[in-house]
Structure 1
């Protein structure tokens, strides 16, 4: 529950598996978060993702309150009216103080924590971005390839999948498409945290998560490009809001430079301290780090 410690004020309560679907362990779970105000968005999104979903839902309703009971009734109606959702959705309620700001990465981490499969896809855009209908089938088809189907012998290390970044247009390297989803092991060592950057946009904050995944894997990630994503239109900013955003951009640039410089230094030190038996692989990683981090460390 350390993932909750970053949320302030402290949550009033956490209810895992308010809804719990029976899941095939070989499936891949979509992880998302939303507020109770967007409950009705779930069925439409689920039509484009036939696999399991782990959704962290935030609510200002206090546990055991009248509002809480009403929300549970709405969730029950959602199940009864949508058989597909009933068979794929696992939903977890997080009771928050009304003054609690959004903590998107922490919420997404909780959805991932409670996923019932070993592989998950993190959708940072939540229900504002829906995947192509064929995406889930293509993921399963690629997972069932020869390397993925081999069971490791007792005492051997299990086959480790690379993280996969799903881009919506031509980027095959960092920076990737805004709000690009990431598929990785549920228990992967990389857990994105809040960066405490000014709240410029969700896409700006998620970019640092993609940087973290990319850097900690020394660029060894799969990048899959696909078409057919559904995106909600972004709101148009007023003149005053645009001025405030401009100030945030300047501050964020400084924070980004500092963060990337620090992560580059840390990765370099970790690689030096944890050198493996394969010197060729270590040398390749070292060259990659030097090339990618040159501008950030010198800055």
Structure 2
């Protein structure tokens, strides 16, 4: 829902007014040519892009952000818990096994200072709470994750958004969040269905970086990508058969959306067709594909390099 008095994001000029608009048109043509022969895809058909209904003040209506079921999550492991506490992740209880490790002592001190209840626990209890995960004697119970609205990721003049299509492993999600944080991304976009959500596994793999990385959910990824394009973003998808190397991506210094698919099936057909360009990561060895988290890290590094050159 639109908050009273809140202004929409003042991000970007329209796509057709930006200097790289001509490159986008050429990129789409090259993308469709590169994918010709793939029986699951074809050229983009012309048509109107869907628009959101207008709110009472004339602006597009913004539905309320979606949340996962209202259930607490556990972040466990010394580094993950400490990073979460340092970043102010809202904790409700800290379970710990007395230890001389410096990270455990710091975690206990931070939790005590901000009023999080401390519960001394034995290893069997922590094993049970974490389903025998590698907790290292430390676990933090946190409130359910609050997802951002997709429009919130458009803050700034040149946002870098990472959209995920079919990433169902929370560990991959956490690894991608960690890379996104390292290379200056503005946020992560997830579809509500057929996607991993922010849970304890994602928190642990992200090494606490989820505390400072906005994650938004959308009901329809294809529609949201088109909305980002309308807002002036260039949308590029990672695809093993993409006609362009990631080193040759145009417009990566402007508003940019990188779409990453699953390791097994890659990008969905409709999602791939919605991208302005499909790009691949050149590989010179014998591996046929890369893990989604690894691919995201490589691509984000290259985009960050170009943006800061």
What's the TM-score bracket when you normalise by the shorter of the two chains? under 0.3
Asked which structure has the greater RCO (Cα within 8 Å, sep 6+), the reply is 2
Structure-1-length-normalised TM-score: 0.23
